[in-house]
Chains A and B, each alone.
Chain A
Amino acid sequence: MSNVPADLKFAKSHEWVRTLADGTVEVGISDHAQSALGDLVFVETPAAGRALQAGEACAVVESVKAASDVYSPVPGEVIEGNGGLADAPESINEEPYGKGWIMRLKVSGAGALDGLMDAAAYERFLETEA
């Protein structure tokens, strides 16, 4: 069973969103996604200042098997990409909800997270996908 933390929101494309104390959000890919991709060997994160639409391809995670796009689960502006992933892409495999975060965003627009799934809904979604 993959790990689905209760305090996060999830997108159908398997990104998670964590709201931080200052109102900005942290985005990564779920435990299920990292497990399906396999050992990650290269990650390309977006540059700070980039404006993203919800659903826009903004990062690339590449495993030994294949390259996959990461889509921004919410609209917003990139505050920073996780620079640590350049030298340690395996962080996403090891701690997808921790040091494997991909980017931090300043969300634009109220209610931008409303369309995302909570943990329980994401778990049900994973069951329907299996």
Chain B
Amino acid sequence: MVDFGGWDMPVNYGSQIEEHHAVRRDAGMFDVSHMCVVDLKGPQTGDFLRRLLANDVGRLTTPGKALYSCMLQDDGGVIDDLIVYYMNSTWYRAVVNAGTRDKDLAWMRRQAPAEGLEIIERTDLAMIAVQGPQAREKAVTVLPAEGRDAAMALDIFYGVPIQTENGELFVARTGYTGEDGWEIMVPAASAATLWNNLIKAGIASCGLGARDTLRLEAGMNLYGSDMDESKHPLESGLGWTVAWKPADRAFVGRPALEAIKAAGSPNKFVGLVLEERGVLRGHQKVVVEGLGEGEVTSGTFSPTLERSIGLARVPAGTGEKVQVDIRGKLLSARVVKPPFVRNGKSCITL
């Protein structure tokens, strides 16, 4: 067990690599109740979120549709990354990271209008992520009968509330592994029952360790490792999440980001595949011949590819080859565009 943002969480239940493979090949689940669910309600919610977030919730018009976005400081530094669901015109649901919960809520409240917006932390909800090619088929058998059709009908990146006699569930076809699956929000009092039923349905319990190797293979950023307040989205591989259009949408951090974009960011964010034996880890130095240095922000051994992969921030002109300083030795790594693995298949040539 380790402390993770104030929560005691298991790194692994058994073999971390077996848990990883369970998700890539079959079905695994993670207790992600540490994630913080925040309901934003009231007539001002849409306008508020269009100003608060770098991605544009104006793109969300269908109930249940989700959007991934950064929440930025005025200088463009990333306060957090989050998912926001459009529930209806006066209700959005955000899911933010555990370690950033307090500062996120404080920032939201500081930016909030005086009236027309309620910010409600849903500490009453737990969350279980079921992930893998067989995850939905296995998990649907333990959902309340009245919600199964709606859950199975969900498109990718949509969620749906399901009323049950024990309170409201929220099932969303989202995740952090690069596999199909659901994230299920459940009243905390029913979470242990749901977990045990999912085990009976043949879904493997997986810990934080496998969650990290899976998200890294999927090329997904981890807040606090790959980006934080001192880094902006354009040097964190998150430029695609910034909605520049419409040009007149004033979001927090926009002027700073536009200046950075116009001048050209001196750094870029890339994937690395280590070509020699060893393991990439966060904070290792990347040496780019003729251009200077960068840094590995996340690194691990990829159980699917059976070699080491990482994410790194490097000088903007970096080409296809770099070297990484691993315990005083310079080892060769190849620059690739993440993701490394999606839906069980390698996305890069090895």
Which residues of A are at the interface with B, using a C-beta cutoff of 8 A?
A: 38-39, 41-42, 44, 60, 62-67, 86
Question: Which of B11, B12, B279 is the one whose CB lies under 8 Å from A41?
Answer: B279
Nearest 9 interchain pairs by C-beta: A41-B301, A39-B17, A62-B279, A64-B16, A42-B279, A64-B301, A38-B16, A39-B16, A39-B15
**Is the C-beta of B73 less than 8 angstroms from some C-beta in chain A?**
no
A36 to chain B: closest CB distance in Å? 11
26 contacts between A and B (CB under 8 A): A38-B11, A38-B12, A38-B16, A38-B209, A39-B15, A39-B16, A39-B17, A41-B301, A42-B277, A42-B278, A42-B301, A62-B278, A62-B279, A63-B16, A64-B16, A64-B17, A64-B209, A64-B213, A64-B300, A64-B301, A64-B303, A65-B11, A65-B209, A66-B281, A67-B327, A86-B277
Measured in the bound complex, the distance between the Cα atoms of B213 and A67 in whole Å is 15
Which residues in B have their C-beta under 8 angstroms from that of A64?
Answer: 16-17, 209, 213, 300-301, 303
Number of CB contacts from chain A to chain B under 8 A: 38
Q: Which chain B residue shows the least CB distance to A62?
A: B279
B17 to chain A: closest CB distance in Å? 4
Interface SS, B side: loop
Measured in the bound complex, the distance between the Cα atoms of B277 and A41 in whole Å is 10
Measured in the bound complex, the distance between the Cα atoms of B327 and A60 in whole Å is 10
**Beyond known contacts A66-B281, A67-B279: 12 more, CB 8 A cutoff:** A39-B16, A42-B279, A42-B308, A44-B277, A44-B278, A62-B279, A63-B16, A64-B209, A64-B213, A65-B11, A65-B209, A86-B277
Q: Report the count of interface residues on B (CB-CB < 8 A).
A: 16
A102 to chain B: closest CB distance in Å? 16
A1 to chain B: closest CB distance in Å? 16
Give chain B interface residues in 200-233, CB to chain A under 8 Å: 209, 213
Q: Which chain B residue shows the least CB distance to A60?
A: B327
- Interface bits B1-31 vs A (CB < 8 Å: 1, else 0): 0000000000110011100000000000000
Measured in the bound complex, the distance between the Cα atoms of B274 and A42 in whole Å is 13
Give chain B interface residues in 277-294, CB to chain A under 8 Å: 277-279, 281
Measured in the bound complex, the distance between the Cα atoms of B279 and A60 in whole Å is 11
A55 to chain B: closest CB distance in Å? 18
Measured in the bound complex, the distance between the Cα atoms of B19 and A65 in whole Å is 13
A87 to chain B: closest CB distance in Å? 10
Measured in the bound complex, the distance between the Cα atoms of B301 and A67 in whole Å is 11
Which residues in A have their C-beta under 8 angstroms from that of B17?
Answer: 39, 64
Which residues in A have their C-beta under 8 angstroms from that of B209?
Answer: 38, 64-65
Measured in the bound complex, the distance between the Cα atoms of B12 and A86 in whole Å is 24
Measured in the bound complex, the distance between the Cα atoms of B331 and A44 in whole Å is 14
A31 to chain B: closest CB distance in Å? 15
Which residues in B have their C-beta under 8 angstroms from that of A42?
Answer: 277-279, 301, 308
Which residues in A have their C-beta under 8 angstroms from that of B278?
Answer: 42, 44, 62
Measured in the bound complex, the distance between the Cα atoms of B191 and A110 in whole Å is 61
Measured in the bound complex, the distance between the Cα atoms of B276 and A86 in whole Å is 11
Which residues in B have their C-beta under 8 angstroms from that of A60?
Answer: 327
Which residues in B have their C-beta under 8 angstroms from that of A62?
Answer: 278-279, 301
Q: Which chain B residue shows the least CB distance to A42?
A: B279
B122 to chain A: closest CB distance in Å? 31
Measured in the bound complex, the distance between the Cα atoms of B15 and A40 in whole Å is 10
Measured in the bound complex, the distance between the Cα atoms of B281 and A51 in whole Å is 29
Which residues in B have their C-beta under 8 angstroms from that of A65?
Answer: 11, 16, 209
Measured in the bound complex, the distance between the Cα atoms of B213 and A17 in whole Å is 34
